[in-house]
């Protein structure tokens, strides 16, 4: 069944294996995101698309418990986020709420009160990214910050390039298009801030990668890439450009590539930050 243009479509699903992959990915990425956010104690933060809540809880450690609201559409993700919070003895550090990124579940008296609204890896999975950013701008106070982190999948490079990976990755990118999502949304984050009424302040890239001299870290990134591709295998094959045997051979080759003494993986996620205008 085709997806409605108003309905978010997360390609990767919320099965336990995908939750495990996301949890490991959080371990790799969160510290750099937290450093770049430059949060202050007492900041009131809205984390849109909070997923498993690991980054949301990291934010709460910076700003203080009870200062963070995390919004997540998936009941499975929310349940796991609450379990992880309980296991970490951080119950109540984040107010986790079920809701869509484009229809934020905030009370009337909460709109226009946040110091920071943040979204990571959300806009690539929604049919109308601008609506999400507009909601984030509306949620912050005058002068409040809107922080967007997202992917542009064309920044992904492995060298020496494993045989078949370019074709496989191209089909992965096309699977986003077919779902009505934008796999290159990271390139237009500043434009989205401007269109949503925020004043863009700065942009950068957060580098994620490793080389053969960092074998454990490189292995973790290779495992993540393999998990991403295997998790959307059917969507990639539905594009109709590669056969199942080609997919499987390429994945096996990618794992072998991770053992090369000259392997290097390069990836950059886009970061953009704006402020709500004083007139907001």
Q: Tens of pLDDT along 229-241?
A: 999 999 999 999 9
pLDDT of 279 higher than 80: no
- Ranges assigned E (strand) in the chain: 45-48, 68-72, 94-98, 114-120, 140-150, 157-159, 198-211, 264-276
**What is the rounded distance in angstroms from the CA atom of residue 218 to the CA atom of residue 209?**
7
Question: CA triplet 106, 271, 39: central angle to 5 degrees?
Answer: 60
pLDDT of 8 higher than 80: no
| Spacing of C-alpha 72 from chain mean position | 12
**What is the rounded distance in angstroms from the CA atom of residue 45 to the CA atom of residue 33?**
14
CATH topology of domain 16-276: Rossmann fold (3.40.50)
Phi, psi of 55 (to 5 degrees): -70, -40
Q: Where do the domains of the chain lie?
A: 16-276
pLDDT band at 26 (very low <50, low <70, confident <90, very high): confident
Sign of the Cα pseudo-torsion (110, 141, 272, 27, in order): negative
pLDDT at 4: 41
pTM of the model as a whole: 0.91
pLDDT band at 270 (very low <50, low <70, confident <90, very high): very high
Question: CA triplet 239, 19, 238: central angle to 5 degrees?
Answer: 10
22-33 CB burial, b ≥16 within 10 A, e <16? beebbeebbeeb
């Amino acid at each position: 069944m085709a997806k409605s243009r108003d309905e978010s479509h997360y390609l990767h699903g919320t099965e336990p294996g995908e939750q495990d992959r996301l949890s490991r990915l959080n371990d790799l990425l969160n510290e750099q995101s937290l450093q770049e956010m430059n949060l202050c104690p007492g900041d009131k933060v809205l984390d849109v698309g909070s997923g498993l809540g690991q980054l949301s809880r990291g934010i709460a450690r910076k700003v203080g418990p009870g200062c963070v609201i995390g919004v997540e559409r998936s009941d499975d993700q929310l349940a796991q986020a609450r379990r992880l919070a309980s296991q970490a003895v951080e119950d109540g550090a984040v107010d986790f709420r079920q809701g869509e990124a484009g229809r934020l579940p905030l009370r009337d008296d909460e709109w226009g009160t946040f110091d920071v609204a943040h979204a990571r890896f959300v806009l690539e999975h929604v049919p109308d990214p601008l609506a999400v950013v507009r909601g984030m701008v509306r949620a912050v106070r005058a002068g409040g910050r809107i922080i967007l982190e997202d992917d542009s999948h064309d920044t992904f490079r492995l060298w020496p390039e494993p045989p078949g990976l370019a074709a496989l990755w191209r089909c992965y990118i096309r699977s986003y298009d077919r779902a009505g999502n934008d796999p290159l949304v990271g390139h237009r984050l500043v434009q989205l801030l401007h269109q949503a009424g925020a004043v863009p302040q700065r942009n950068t890239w957060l580098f994620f990668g490793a080389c053969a001299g960092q074998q454990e870290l490189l292995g973790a990134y290779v495992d993540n890439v393999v998990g991403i591709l295997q998790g959307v295998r059917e969507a990639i094959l539905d594009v109709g450009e590669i056969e199942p045997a080609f997919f499987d051979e390429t994945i096996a080759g990618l794992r072998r590539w991770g053992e090369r003494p000259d392997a290097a993986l390069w990836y950059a996620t886009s970061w953009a930050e704006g402020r709500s205008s004083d007139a907001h």
